[in-house]
Chains A and B, each alone.
Chain A
Amino acid sequence: MEFQAVLMAAGGGSRMTDLTYNTPKAMLPVGNKPLMWYPLNLLERVGFEEVIVITTKEVQKMMSADPKIKQDVKMKLEVVCIQEDGDMGTADALRHIQPKIKTDILVVSCDLITDAALHEVVDLFRAHNATLAMLMSKAHEFTETVPGQKGKKKTAEQRDFVGVDESGKRLLFMANEADLEEGLSIRKSILRKHPRVHIKTGLVDAHLYCLKKSVVDFLTDNKSISSIRGELVPYLVRKQFSKTINGQKTKDDVEDQNQKKSDKLHISSRDEPLLQLAQERSCWNDHRGDMSEAYHGGKLRCYVHIMDQGLCYRVNTLAAYIEANRLAPKLFEEPVVHPSAVTSERCQIGSDSIIGASCQVAEKTSIKRSTIGNSTTVKEKVKVTNSIIMHGVTIEEGCNIQGSVICSNAIIGRGADLKYCLVGNGQRIEPEGEAHNIIGNDA
């Protein structure tokens, strides 16, 4: 077996608490499918047959109840539950499942929606015998108005600085703006080996990592690393150019002992001499212009595939959630109206909308660019534009909903007028109520 897939579905959605305080992030409906269905579908399409899903008990319960996951996902899902306290980072989770890991792993986050060709990332991992290979994408501007946003869109979270070499494949350094106090500093050893570095900001990390098995073993020894993205990846990227890994001989046994105790990432494989011989005899070099051999003799290599075309979204903020709802249905050819939904003839349903299962849409309604969840009732003369209506919502007559997100089981009273609002779970909006750009959570 070459890879084991690991799906991280225990995240709390800390950046969109309005949506996730009731529904776990992994089960938020996007295009009427639970969010975690998308990465599962990606893995299935690519050919995986088994996935280890790390999640909470709540999500596990919802997963077994959800028809989409039960029927559509043919792979074998091995669910590992962890505590909901939220103290466990992604790397901690990997450490937790270390006994199950027998080969190299492919870690995916549950909030990734993408149509990337995974073989590009995996080919980098295979061809260069890399320790880490990851996927990144050029970030797209979010165009939709987000409920609850006052004034102009504030600048996104702090930027990531990603340094790649000339070919655009080898990852040379990675730092977040938060960690850089004064400025960006690049070690001389990196510049000596790679004189041309391309520094990119504005890239979205897809949180899709191919990691070697030895990294998981290394994590079990190093309990201080708790997040893959925040700590493990920058550590590996830095370690590429560290002297100890590059096989420089240590001076005496004492040092050796100390190193053995601390983090020693074993990267060499069993038949190292043969591989070494093959590399020596091969007339290939990954760089030219200096006197060093391929890869500068380094054993630890990190690669990144930056996709410039195609869809790649991390649904971890409200804006991303809305954008994803807009675009995710385009990934799959699905009928606009679910077969089990009941729609009357006199309603207007735009082609870029989706009506979920068992819906009831009365006449004289107009639904444009919106997503209507399962088991939702929409009464007469309702106008829904640019909105996301989740499951089990009741919308009484004469409502006008624009640019809003209505969470599950909410009831919108008659004649309400909502613009750019977020209605929480199970909330009631009074009839003839007017709301503009507010987020209401309390029931």
Chain B
Amino acid sequence: MSLCEMTHQCKAALCMLLMNLTISNTRLQVTNSSCNFPDGPEKTGDIERIKNEGKELTKEEKQRLRKEKKQQKKNKEKKDEKAPLESEKEKKPASSSPASQATAQPPTQKASSGVPAPAPVPVAASEAPSPVDKPAKSKAELKAERRARQEAERASKQSKKGEVGQQAAPSKAKAPPSELQPVVKRLPEHIQVDNPEVLKKLAKKLERQQIPLRSDYGYKVSLFSHLHQYSRKAPLTQQLSIPSSVIHPAIVQLGLQYSQGIVAGSNARSVALLHAFKQIIRDYTTPPNEELSRDLVNKLKPYISFLNQCRPLSASMGNAIKYIKKEISNIPSQCKEEEAKSKLQDCIDCYINEKIILAAKAIAKYAIEKISDGDVILVYGCSSLVNHILCEAFEKNRKFRVIVVDSRPRLEGREALRRLVQRGISCTYVLISAVSYILPEVSKVFLGAHALLANGYVMSRVGTSQIALVAKAFNVPVLVCCETYKFCERVQTDSFVSNELDDPDDLIVTRKGKTHLEHWQDVSSLGLLNLVYDVTPPDFVDLVITDLGMIPCTSVPVVLRVKNVDQ
């Protein structure tokens, strides 16, 4: 290994360590030691280069700067002749790998014991510059070396604790030393829309699969510019040939129904998807020299890309697809085609029956225990599961009334209201702006979920977290109803990173013949944002009712773990 590569790795390692500086806040220890600087002038040259690149300081870097200044002051007390200049150079955007080169050098010489992962590489590197030349070291270099040592120690402490949560930017995450587990997974492309390379890759992939690329529409609010935003008036079918030959007609129909909102709601989308899969399997014939188990899975890939282009897949759909793919690949090769196809169709029926229909019955059973006579139940939007529960409870002669909270632009609450009133349940209808007015009357809040994340957060229609928050403030219990097939292994703590942007033109409304936002695109400083999902923290949720029983929000990872073990 050449010295350059070594130092690059060191750079990366040290960059990670520097990032961790902001997380941990241990005290620095100043030790006196000597070290070699075989390429001192080279290092300073690099520092100059970094300065000239003129990168902006991020918040992290500013924090680090502040800490280092503090350290500096302490060092000054101990060692007077410290050049502040040098430290500033050190403080330059250190998150960029070249910058960390400055601090990379010292640890190469330091073979501090107990420093695990980053250490072996620096140690090895230190052996490479064998000639132990000791040029005159400047005070700045000494200081840099000391800082690097401290960081190495800190890293050792952290790795001893077993902390591996490095939040480095994805590109840097690819270069961590081999000993540290690569924890940062590849980011999905649908939340990296503002990265032109990712877009290029996506375009290439779609071209290969012969699926048209749907172009984004309108100005995106800057906080959400990393997400796709499509217009309903430009459906993907514009670019397809009419008797669609590349994509199965059932999938084209499904994609259209998704993008126009005709099939909306997590359960409905999954059922429709599985129905389409049944049709695909029925119309499928194995080409010669191919195996059904492998070829069918490959056939499904472009269809899934197409559906993704029409509307981003939901967590429930993702789980259903995983299940189908697993079932297909588990088909033994001796199995005849007809037999395999009917087996797959049975699997699909079974899945729907178990995970959706029976799960709904089980959840209703548990939930009805929680509904007592005289209750005033608040629901938000239109969740098929919550509606089902309320209708079942009404059948079992529980006396309660419902308050339906609704919000623009989807106004799904109207549909929920219609279904409940049709059954005979007495309902009140308010908009979300009145939720704190109506909450003193409410005894329970039932919420549906789009997905339950691995850290206990609930992902649901935008506005749910607001309802949960207000309910918490009023000490009203919040119960989330969710089937286990919607549990997702993703972790999310905010609604920004991964979300869905709906058509911004939905926000335009005509009142009294005037449409004020009609020409919103002409106003350069105006952006319309139509979010679809938001994330509710587990502190606001009192109980999650699943088909496995009633569990607290924090037990979701346990359920996931048990599910994975089962599979």
Number of interface residues of B (CB under 8 A): 42
Instruction: Report yes or no: A47 in contact with B243, Cβ–Cβ below 8 A.
Output: yes
Contacts of B356 in A (CB 8 A): 277
Residues of A within 8 A of B418 (CB): 285, 288, 291
B window 253-305: CB within 8 A of A: 253, 256-257, 260-265, 267-269, 271-272, 274-275, 278-279
Kindly identify, within residues 202 to 238 of chain B, every residue whose CB is under 8 Å from any CB belonging to chain A. 235, 237-238
**Secondary structure of the B contact surface, majority rule:** helix
Give 6 A-B contacts (CB < 8 Å), ordered by A residue: A2-B243, A106-B242, A126-B237, A128-B262, A283-B412, A291-B422
| Contact assessment for B275 and A274 in the assembled complex, using a CB-CB cutoff below 8 Å | yes
**Known contacts being A48-B242, A123-B237, is A283 close to B256, with CB within 8 Å?**
no
Contacts of B264 in A (CB 8 A): 282-284
> Among the listed B253, B381, B384, B414, which residue makes an inter-chain contact with A127, where contact means beta carbons less than 8 Å apart?
B253
Q: Does A279 contact B (CB under 8 A)?
A: yes
Does A261 have its Cβ within 8 Å of any Cβ on chain B?
A: no
**B242, B244, B275, B357: most-surrounded residue (chain A CB, <10 A):** B242
- Residue-wise, chain A 120-133 has the 8 Å CB interface mask toward B (1 for contact) of 00110011110000
Q: Chain B: which residue is nearest A48 at the CB level?
A: B243
A74 to B247 Cα, complex, angstroms: 22
B480 at the interface (CB under 8 A from A): no
Q: Is the CB of B242 within 8 A of A3?
A: yes
B245 within 8 Å of A (CB atoms): yes
Interface residues of B (CB under 8 A from A): 235, 237-238, 240-245, 249, 252-253, 256-257, 260-265, 267-269, 271-272, 274-275, 278-279, 352, 356-357, 381-382, 384, 412, 414-416, 418, 421-422
User: Hey, which chain B residues are within 8 Å of A199, CB to CB?
Assistant: none
A281: B residues at CB distance < 8 A? 265, 267-268, 271, 384
Residues of A within 8 A of B265 (CB): 281-283
A49 to chain B: which residues have CB within 8 Å?
243, 245
Quick check: A284 and B415 within 8 Å, CB to CB? yes
Name the one of A1, A127, A278, A288 contacting B260, with C-beta atoms under 8 angstroms: A127
Contacts of A228 in B (CB 8 A): none
Indicate if the CB atoms of B384 and A280 lie closer than 8 Å. yes
Whole-angstrom distance from the CB of B351 to the nearest CB of chain A? 12
Residue A119 is within 8 A (CB to CB) of chain B in the complex: yes
CB-defined contacts of B249 to chain A, threshold 8 Å: 1-2, 126
**B256 contacts A284, C-beta separation under 8 Å:** no
Task: Check A119–B242 contact: CB distance below 8 A.
Answer: yes
The distance from the CB of A213 to the nearest CB of chain B, in whole angstroms, is 12
**Which of B243, B252, B263, B269 lies at the interface centre, i.e. has the most chain A CB atoms within 10 A of its CB?**
B243
Q: A48-B241, A280-B384, A282-B265 are in contact. List 17 more A-B contacts (CB 8 A).
A: A1-B245, A2-B244, A2-B249, A3-B243, A47-B243, A117-B238, A119-B237, A127-B256, A271-B278, A274-B278, A277-B271, A277-B356, A283-B265, A283-B415, A283-B416, A284-B263, A288-B418
Per-residue contact bits, chain A 267-297, to B (CB 8 Å; 1 contact, 0 not)? 0000100110111111111001001000000
Could you tell me the distance in whole angstroms from the C-beta of A108 to the nearest C-beta in chain B?
12
Asked if A116 is at the interface (CB within 8 A of a chain B CB), the reply is no
Docked-complex contact A46 and B242, CB < 8 angstroms = yes
The answer for the CA separation of A278 and B267 in the assembled complex, in Å, is 8
- Taking CB atoms, residues of chain A closer than 8 Å to B242 are 2-3, 46-48, 106, 118-119, 122
Known: A47-B241, A271-B275, A291-B418. A282 touches B268 (CB 8 A): yes
Given contacts A3-B242, A47-B242, contact A282 B262 (CB under 8 A): yes
Chain B residues contacting A129 (CB-CB under 8 Å) are 253
Contact of B238 among A119, A127, A271 (CB under 8 A): A119
Chain B: CB-nearest residue to A122 = B242
Give the distance in Å from the alpha carbon of A5 to the alpha carbon of B243 in the complex.
Answer: 9
